[in-house]
Structure 1
Amino acid sequence: MEFGIGTYPTHDSVDPGVLARLVEERGHNTSLFLAEHTHLPAAAYRAGQVPRRLGHLYDPFVALTAAAAVTSRLRVGTGICLVVERDPIITAKQVASLDHLSGGRFEFGVGAGWLRESMLNHGTDPRTRMRLMADRIAAMKAIWTEDVASYHGEFVRFDEIVSWPKPIQRPHPPILVGGDGPTVFDRVLGFGDAWLPNVARDPSGGLELVKRIKELQARADRTIDVVVVSTPADPAVLERLAKAGCRRAVHWIPATGKAGVERSLDRWEEAVTTFTGEAETVHRSTAEIMGATLAPST
């Protein structure tokens, strides 16, 4: 099993480039995921109805470009990109550009989101957001894979267009479908390369998630990777996920300064080394501790 990092890239926390260098230096090369919210409705923000940090996020494509520019091995990804709040032609361009500039290190985590007021501000009907997401993903795939692309779907329609560069990863960067609802497997199997569930939403400490991973594997007619986000620094949870066939466990670190990030990484690395059975000290770098365990994602 691989191990990665995710966070909320706020303007008042550690700089994305500094974070990326730190994560790569410590050997977490399989992924750095950054979350997205374009805005928060002011009433919800003032009332504290949603985490206020979500109103302070950098655009993930800008932040990930900064991260990719100062690293050479670290894979970078959206966790998640709210495609129902984005123009698909522009987003296809951003994905391809970032994959190209990073040398093929981008992973496209996608989702429909949950904050209905924000969707409405983008002109999205929350009732049809799942169909809209599928339609936009299909349109983007056409743009990435066709020299002259056309698409005519339920929500997205365009005649012949030319859009370069194409992604380095062919046919396109891996699409990781976020979500934990009862119909998420329809989307994973419909247009995803991996499932991106959030173990923090499982009150059983991963037991229910393990059951769902097995259900997905039974339904799939091809290899579907499972990349679990918000994985706690708990060796027992890591063991549970590994036995279920999870490909990668991603630990979410707080939006804080460098010192706080380093403390969070220390705790994560201690849990990982306990899980892998290494008798090493947490104060050594992850690259030294886990050398063979952390192989770059392909």
Structure 2
Amino acid sequence: MYIGAAMFFTDYSMTPAELATALEERGFESVWAPEHSHIPLTRKSEWPGGGELPKKYYDAMDPFVTLTAAAAVTKKLKVGTGVCLVNQRDPIQTAKAVASIDQVSGGRFLFGVGNGWNQDEMENHGTDFESRHKLVRERIEAMKVIWTKSKAEYHGDMVKFDPMMAWPKPVQKPHPPVLVGGAFPYGARRAVRYGDGWMPLRRRKAYAEVRELIPKFQAMAKEANRDLASLPISIWESKEDESELKRDQEAGVVRVIVSLDSEKSDKILPILDRWAKLAQKVK
């Protein structure tokens, strides 16, 4: 089972290069960067975490920029968006960004995607909140065509373009894995429909432990004739708990991801050292 770490990179956190170097030195598999283009001062939708929205959400850097910096100073560490808000991005330009970072990283990019919770934020981008799930699906389908076809075209209800050519193509074939974030059952259904993996949070209001829902997810995948090996599960927001991690491993979880605060190295490195020791016990 792999272990990754995520951070909202800001101008007051560790730099992406610092964290990536520290993670690779300690044997971590991946580094993850979230995305928020901005945070409107109005709030129609509640933050799923409850309470006040943390400052780091307002201050997050662009994930493709930070992950490129992380890739440039590492050789094996994978770099992933956790998650890219596809509903707020042009699919043609995003397809190029994904292919470009996969190229410069030598095929180490993991495309974590999500549909978003902040209604005001996405409305500023011209996205309708109620139809965002369909929009994301069509944008991802369209990007897959761009990545895999020399002459790409897509004609959906919300995303449409006539034959065109776009390079570079990704190093990974047919394309970097599209890991779909979201809760059970809706996020899980989207992962089964168009994803290459499911990335749920460990705990949500609807359930105390997502690991207990893995059999239901697997049944959902089998019903859709999806090979379970093509839908690895990555659990977010794992804690330093050996017994919990071993239960994850036994349940077939491929990856757990640690959420780090936006802090400097004096606060973060001791946490990474503890996780590196813990990782040796759950290989």
Does TM, normalized by the shorter one, top 0.5?
Answer: yes
1:18 match: 18
Specify which of 36, 48, 53 is matched with residue 50 of structure 1: 53
8 Å contact from structure 2 (residues 42, 120) kept in 1: no
Counterpart CA distance in 1 for 2:185 and 2:129 is 17
2:270 match: 263
Question: Cα distance, 1:269 vs. partner?
Answer: 2.8
1:175 aligns with 2:178: yes
Counterpart CA distance in 1 for 2:12 and 2:204 is 26
Worse-matched range after superposition: 212-221 or 95-104: 212-221
Residues 150-203 of structure 1, C-alpha deviations (whole Å, 9 max, x = no match): 111111100111110000000000010000143122211111111001114378
Specify which of 246, 249, 252 is matched with residue 242 of structure 1: 249
SS of the residue aligned with 1:240? helix
Residues 68-126 of structure 1, C-alpha deviations (whole Å, 9 max, x = no match): 01111100000000000100000000000000010000000000011111011111111
* Identity among equivalent pairs (%): 43
SS of the residue aligned with 1:120? helix
1:230 aligns with 2:229: no
The one-letter amino acid of 1:147's match is S
SS of the residue aligned with 1:109? strand
Aligned length: 270
1:138 match: 141
Counterpart CA distance in 2 for 1:159 and 1:43 is 38
Counterpart CA distance in 2 for 1:18 and 1:218 is 41
Counterpart CA distance in 2 for 1:204 and 1:116 is 23
Counterpart CA distance in 2 for 1:225 and 1:204 is 20
The one-letter amino acid of 1:35's match is P
Specify which of 153, 156, 175 is matched with residue 153 of structure 1: 156
The one-letter amino acid of 2:65's match is V
Question: Cα distance, 1:266 vs. partner?
Answer: 2.5
SS of the residue aligned with 1:177? strand
Counterpart CA distance in 2 for 1:203 and 1:241 is 19
SS of the residue aligned with 1:49? coil
2:194 match: 191
1:64 match: 67
Counterpart CA distance in 2 for 1:201 and 1:74 is 29
Question: Cα distance, 1:270 vs. partner?
Answer: 4.0
Counterpart CA distance in 2 for 1:249 and 1:203 is 20
Counterpart CA distance in 2 for 1:6 and 1:205 is 22
The one-letter amino acid of 2:216's match is E
SS of the residue aligned with 1:36? coil
SS of the residue aligned with 2:82? strand
8 Å contact from structure 1 (residues 205, 237) kept in 2: no
Counterpart CA distance in 2 for 1:187 and 1:204 is 18
Matches within 5 A, 1:78-93: 78-93=81-96
8 Å contact from structure 1 (residues 233, 272) kept in 2: no
SS of the residue aligned with 1:103? coil
The one-letter amino acid of 1:56's match is D
TM-score, normalising length: structure 2: 0.91
SS of the residue aligned with 1:73? coil
SS of the residue aligned with 2:174? coil
Q: Residues 202 and 214 (structure 1 numbering): CA distance in 2 closer, same or farther, change over 3 Å?
A: farther
Residues 246-290 of structure 1, C-alpha deviations (whole Å, 9 max, x = no match): 0111111111001111022123234434x43xxxxxxxxxxxxxx
Residues 120-148 of structure 1, C-alpha deviations (whole Å, 9 max, x = no match): 11111110111011000000001000001
Matches within 5 A, 1:198-217: 198-201=201-204, 206=209, 209-217=210-218
Structure 1: gaps (5+ residues):
277-292, 294-298
Structure 2: gaps (5+ residues):
44-50
Q: Superposition RMSD on alpha carbons, in Å?
A: 1.6
Residues 35-91 of structure 1, C-alpha deviations (whole Å, 9 max, x = no match): 1111001345xxx83122111011000000000011111000000000001000000
8 Å contact from structure 2 (residues 27, 276) kept in 1: no
2:47 match: none
8 Å contact from structure 1 (residues 99, 168) kept in 2: yes
2:258 match: 251
Counterpart CA distance in 2 for 1:154 and 1:125 is 14
1:110 match: 113
